[in-house]
């Protein structure tokens, strides 16, 4: 059974849509901080409901725009719980720093007492994701993927390893795609002159970690984000990419458990 806090969600949805469509230029701060407080105050864990499942939707987004509207609206109509907006309203001088700070914001959320270890966490980037599948379909497919390992976390896959060094283990040791060889034609996985600069990697099978989407149990995601945040703090410098750090963490886990 999926428990997604519907009454709050629907009221939030209608109100929010009004704001989004008509007022978001005028009062974005109020609209979205209201949404955040609705979510945190109602995400109460019911310890007796062992088979029940709580799904949390986390959307990192510092400000509203058309793309943000798209992810939010597609989540609403596909029955996702009301989202928690990570780092909303925060100002960063450099977009790269904003990306790295997503790690801090997500880690902070995963530490909240309102999140249980077995809760399912869905992370969707605020600016380039939209939902096409309803929540129950998404979760049932995720359950299939978890068949042999309930701690399994799934990240989106990228066609290009970036911004990591292409010769670093995070890039070279990533497991191969499960798609068939030659799926994009004879130049599958090769840089060729047939593709223009913009479409340069279109013919690569997705294989590398993309930090824009993830789904997993809270306990696993917390372990991953805590380690990522620890590495950022260790460097004592400004790490400018969440994806870079997460790909490194993933490579470490991969080399310990599966190689």
Ligand X SMILES: *[C@@H]1O[C@H](CO)[C@@H](O)[C@H](O)[C@H]1NC(C)=O
Residues that bind ligand X (CB under 6 A): 50, 116-118, 145, 147-148, 150
Which DSSP string corresponds to 11-68? HHHHHHHHIIIIITTT-HHHHHHHHHHHHHHH----TT-SS-EEEEEEEE-SS--HHH
> Minimal distance in Å, beta carbon 147 to ligand X?
4
CA angle 186-191-195, nearest 5°? Answer: 80
Closest CA to 242 of 220, 252, 257, 227: 227
Q: Which is nearer to ligand X, 89 or 206 (CB)?
A: 206
Query: Do 143 and 154 touch, CB atoms closer than 8 A?
Result: no
The number of residues making up the chain comes to: 259
Q: Which is nearer to ligand X, 4 or 116 (CB)?
A: 116
> Minimal distance in Å, beta carbon 223 to ligand X?
15
> Minimal distance in Å, beta carbon 258 to ligand X?
12
Q: Which is nearer to ligand X, 117 or 200 (CB)?
A: 117
> Minimal distance in Å, beta carbon 140 to ligand X?
13
Q: Which is nearer to ligand X, 147 or 259 (CB)?
A: 147
> Minimal distance in Å, beta carbon 175 to ligand X?
13
Closest CA to 214 of 113, 34, 86: 86
Q: Which is nearer to ligand X, 211 or 220 (CB)?
A: 220
């Amino acid at each position: 059974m999926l428990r997604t806090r519907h009454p709050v969600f629907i009221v939030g949805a209608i109100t929010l849509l009004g704001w989004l469509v008509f007022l978001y230029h005028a009062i974005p701060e109020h609209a979205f901080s209201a949404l955040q407080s609705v979510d945190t105050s109602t995400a109460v864990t019911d310890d007796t409901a062992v088979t029940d499942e709580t799904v949390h939707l986390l959307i990192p987004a510092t400000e509203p725009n058309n793309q943000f509207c798209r992810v939010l609206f597609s989540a609403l109509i596909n029955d996702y719980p009301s989202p928690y907006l990570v780092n909303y309203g925060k100002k960063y001088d450099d977009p790269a720093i904003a990306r790295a700070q997503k790690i801090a914001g997500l880690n902070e959320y995963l530490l909240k007492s309102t999140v249980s270890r077995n809760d399912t966490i869905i992370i969707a980037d605020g600016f380039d994701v939209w939902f096409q599948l309803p929540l129950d379909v998404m979760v049932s497919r995720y359950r299939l993927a978890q068949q042999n390992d309930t701690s399994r976390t799934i990240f989106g896959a990228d066609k290009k390893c970036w911004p990591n060094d292409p010769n670093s283990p995070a890039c070279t040791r990533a497991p191969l795609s499960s798609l068939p060889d030659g799926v994009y034609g004879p130049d599958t996985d090769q840089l060729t002159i047939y593709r223009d600069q913009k479409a340069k990697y279109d013919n690569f099978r997705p294989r590398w970690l993309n930090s824009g989407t993830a789904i997993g149990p809270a306990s696993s995601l917390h372990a991953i984000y805590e380690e990522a945040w620890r590495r950022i703090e260790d460097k004592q410098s400004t790490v400018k990419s969440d994806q870079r750090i997460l790909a490194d963490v993933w490579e470490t886990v991969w080399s310990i458990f599966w190689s």
